[in-house]
C-alpha cells in the first residue's frame, strides 16, 4: 500500500491526522436516494477497484485521476452500463470518497473510520508481536486514516457490518490505516433473500516497510479474523460476493493461508480457480482483446479478487468481464491497480468438485 519516502510519509500522515482532513461518515440522505435503481436484466454486475485515493505526501497529483474515475463511472451510468455494485479500496481522501456521489450511486456503505476501535482481545501469540512494534514504521502510534473501504450500490442496503483489525493484526505503514472488513447486505431482485457484499484490503507485503515475516504474521492474523467475521455475519444459506485488494500476490504462503482459511470455514466458492477474473479468462468471456489483456494483467498480479456464490454455496456463473479502468490510450492508468467488472448470472450455478485440496496454488 505505502511506497518509499517513508520518513516523509510518516510525518505527513501525522500532520494530516492533526489537521482533521480525512473523511468519514455517510453522505446526506438527499444524495443517497438520488439515483435510479439498476435494470433487472438477469445479471449482477460487480466491480472491484483500488483507486489509490491516498493523501499527500503518500501520493501526488491524484485529484485529476480521481475526477476521471468518477466521470467515467457517471458516463457508464448514462449509457446504462454502470456496475450495479462497486467495491472500492484506498478511498481515503474526501475527493475519493465523493466518487459515489458523482457517479450517481444511491446507496453507499463506508468501512471503519480512523476513530473506530477493534475491541478484539489479544491471545498469547499476539503479545510478543505487539511488543516488537516499530513506531518509526507506523506501528502502535494510532490510526491516521480510516479503512478506505466503500461499497457503492444501485440496490438498497438493508444492514451494514464492520470489523476493524487491531494493532496486533497489522504490520508496518499499513498500521496507519484502520484496515478491516466491510459487509453490506443488499436487497437485489432475482435473489431469494439478501445478498451480502464483503469488501476488504489486507496488509501489504514489501511495501509495509518491515520484515516479510512480520507482514506475513499480520496477514495471517487478518485472514483468520476476516474469515470468522464473515462466517458469523453471513448465514450459510445466503448469497454472497467477496472481493477487494487481498494483497496475496505471488506469495505462496499468503495464498495458502487465505484459501485454506476459507475452505476450513466451509466457504468452498473461494478458490483461486473460482476467482471471477480467472474464470472469465478461461471462458473467453472478455468483451474484446483489450479487455482480455488488461484482465489477464490484473489476474496475474493476484491482488484484486472477486468471488460470488448463491444461497447453496455454489459459485454464480460468470457471463462476461469488462475493464473500465485498465490501460489508458496513452499507456498510463488511473491507479496502480486496474478496476475490473464481472457480470454474474442469476441462473443455475456452475458445479464445483468437492473434496481434495483447498486449491491454494496460484
For residue 212, count other CB atoms closer than 10 A to its CB.
Answer: 13
Give the pLDDT band (50/70/90) at residue 312. Answer: confident
Which three cell numbers mark 281?
479468462
Mean pLDDT of 142-156: 96
Query: Quick one: DSSP state of residue 264?
Result: H
The pLDDT value given to residue 191: 81
What span, in angstroms and rounded, lies between the C-alpha atoms of 331 and 184? 35
- Domain ranges, ordered by start, for the chain: 6-21+41-345
Residue pLDDT, tens place only, 4-39: 444 445 444 443 443 333 333 333 333 333 344 545
Strand, coil or helix: what is 109?
Answer: strand
**Pairing label, strands 150-153, 85-91:** antiparallel
Q: In the chain, how many H helices and how many E strands?
A: 10, 11
- Classify domain 6-21+41-345 by CATH number: 3.60.10.10
Q: Which residues, 6 or more positions from 221, have their beta carbon under 8 angstroms from its beta carbon?
A: 126, 165, 168, 169
Residue pLDDT, tens place only, 87-126: 999 999 999 999 999 999 999 999 999 999 999 999 998 9
Residue pLDDT, tens place only, 37-78: 545 578 999 999 999 999 876 777 799 999 999 999 999 999
Residue pLDDT, tens place only, 211-237: 999 999 999 999 999 999 999 999 998
Alpha helices in 80-196 (DSSP H): 94-97, 99-103, 126-131
Strand, coil or helix: what is 138?
Answer: coil
The pLDDT value given to residue 219: 98
What span, in angstroms and rounded, lies between the C-alpha atoms of 12 and 273? 41
Residue pLDDT, tens place only, 328-357: 999 999 999 999 999 999 866 656 555 444
Q: Which residues, 6 or more positions from 180, have their beta carbon under 8 angstroms from its beta carbon?
A: 111, 112, 116, 118, 147, 149, 162, 163, 164, 165, 200
- With b for 16 or more beta-carbon neighbours within 10 A and e for fewer, the 150-173 pattern comes to bbbbbbbbeeebbbbbbbbbbbbb
Mean pLDDT of 304-324: 95
Amino acid at each position: 500500500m505505502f511506497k518509499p519516502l517513508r520518513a516523509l510519509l510518516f510525518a505527513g500522515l501525522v500532520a494530516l491526522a492533526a489537521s482533521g482532513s480525512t473523511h468519514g461518515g455517510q453522505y446526506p440522505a438527499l444524495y443517497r436516494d438520488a439515483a435510479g435503481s439498476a435494470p433487472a436484466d438477469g445479471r449482477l454486475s460487480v466491480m472491484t477497484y483500488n483507486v489509490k485515493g491516498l493523501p499527500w505526501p503518500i501520493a501526488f497529483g491524484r485529484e485529476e485521476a480521481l475526477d476521471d474515475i468518477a466521470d467515467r463511472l457517471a458516463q457508464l451510468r448514462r449509457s446504462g452500463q454502470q456496475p450495479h455494485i462497486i467495491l472500492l479500496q484506498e478511498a481515503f481522501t474526501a475527493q475519493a470518497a465523493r466518487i459515489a456521489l458523482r457517479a450517481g450511486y444511491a446507496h453507499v456503505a463506508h468501512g471503519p473510520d480512523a476513530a473506530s476501535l477493534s475491541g478484539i482481545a489479544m491471545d498469547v501469540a499476539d503479545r510478543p508481536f505487539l511488543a516488537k512494534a516499530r513506531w518509526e514504521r507506523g506501528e502502535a502510534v494510532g490510526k491516521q486514516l480510516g479503512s478506505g473501504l466503500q461499497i457503492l450500490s444501485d440496490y438498497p442496503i438493508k444492514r451494514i457490518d464492520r470489523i476493524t483489525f487491531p494493532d496486533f493484526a497489522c504490520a508496518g505503514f499499513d498500521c496507519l490505516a484502520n484496515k478491516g472488513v466491510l459487509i453490506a447486505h443488499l436487497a437485489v431482485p432475482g435473489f431469494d433473500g439478501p445478498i451480502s457484499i464483503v469488501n476488504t484490503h489486507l496488509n501489504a507485503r514489501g511495501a509495509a516497510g518491515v520484515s516479510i515475516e512480520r507482514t506475513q504474521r499480520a496477514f495471517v492474523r487478518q485472514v483468520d479474523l476476516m474469515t470468522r467475521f464473515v462466517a458469523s455475519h453471513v448465514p450459510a444459506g445466503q448469497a454472497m460476493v467477496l472481493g477487494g485488494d487481498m494483497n496475496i500476490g505471488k506469495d505462496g504462503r499468503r495464498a495458502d493461508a487465505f484459501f485454506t482459511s476459507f475452505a476450513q470455514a466451509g466457504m468452498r466458492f473461494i478458490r483461486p480457480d473460482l476467482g471471477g477474473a480467472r474464470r472469465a479468462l478461461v471462458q473467453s468471456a472478455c468483451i474484446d482483446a483489450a479487455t482480455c489483456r488488461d484482465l489477464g494483467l490484473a489476474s496475474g498480479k493476484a491482488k484484486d479478487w472477486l468471488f460470488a456464490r448463491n444461497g447453496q454455496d455454489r459459485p454464480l456463473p460468470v457471463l462476461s468481464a469488462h475493464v473500465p479502468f485498465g490501460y489508458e490510450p496513452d499507456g498510463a492508468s488511473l491507479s496502480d491497480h486496474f478496476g475490473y467488472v464481472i457480470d454474474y448470472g442469476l441462473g443455475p450455478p456452475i458445479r464445483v468438485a468437492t473434496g481434495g485440496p483447498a486449491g491454494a496454488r496460484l
